[in-house]
């Protein structure tokens, strides 16, 4: 993982290939996943229960984006809200490389802004 992503404290980044095998992850991803960086080289299908396994298979087969939010209770009883953003990536030759998952901690109450295009002069 590029060193600028390695120590992001609130963004977990996991990269898999077109077959679902984990290629890389940053330290935060290793910290929040139960087996840490030991899962590099393993298939994500073996790490997920249903229905996540079926969804992952669909994303890989159709090279689709998937985005949603979750709320999770941690072992200490605190709660965290996350944006999960799973997006296809391409190899240097332009072919489908697999998926990158960004798991980003976000505030529970987050402002939402609607931006309009500037009027043409």
pLDDT tens, residue by residue, 69-105: 999 998 899 999 999 999 999 999 999 999 999 999 9
Return the domain boundaries, the chain: 3-106
Residue 33 pLDDT grade (very low, low, confident, very high; cuts 50, 70, 90): confident
3-state helix, strand, coil in the chain (%, to 5): 25, 35, 40
Q: Which of helix, strand or coil describes residue 55?
A: helix
- Within a 10 A sphere around the Cβ of 91, how many other Cβ atoms? 11
How far apart CA 15 and CA 24 sit, in angstroms, is: 5
CATH superfamily, domain 3-106, is PAS domain (3.30.450.20)
In this predicted structure, the answer to whether residue 4 has a pLDDT above a threshold of 80 is no
- Express as a percent the part of the chain with pLDDT over 70: 95
Mean pLDDT of the chain: 92
Say if pTM beats, i.e. exceeds, 0.75.
yes
- Within a 10 A sphere around the Cβ of 39, how many other Cβ atoms? 20
């Amino acid at each position: 993982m590029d060193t600028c992503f390695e120590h992001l404290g609130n963004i977990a980044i996991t990269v898999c290939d077109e077959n679902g095998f984990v290629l890389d992850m940053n330290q935060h991803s290793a910290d929040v996943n139960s087996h840490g960086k030991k899962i590099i080289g393993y298939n994500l299908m073996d790490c997920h229960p249903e229905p996540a396994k079926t969804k992952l298979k669909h994303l890989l087969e159709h090279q689709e984006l998937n985005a949603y939010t979750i709320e999770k209770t941690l072992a200490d009883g605190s709660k965290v809200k996350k944006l999960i953003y799973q997006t296809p990536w391409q190899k240097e030759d332009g072919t489908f490389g697999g998926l990158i998952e960004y798991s980003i901690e976000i505030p529970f109450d987050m402002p939402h802004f609607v931006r309009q295009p500037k009027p043409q002069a």
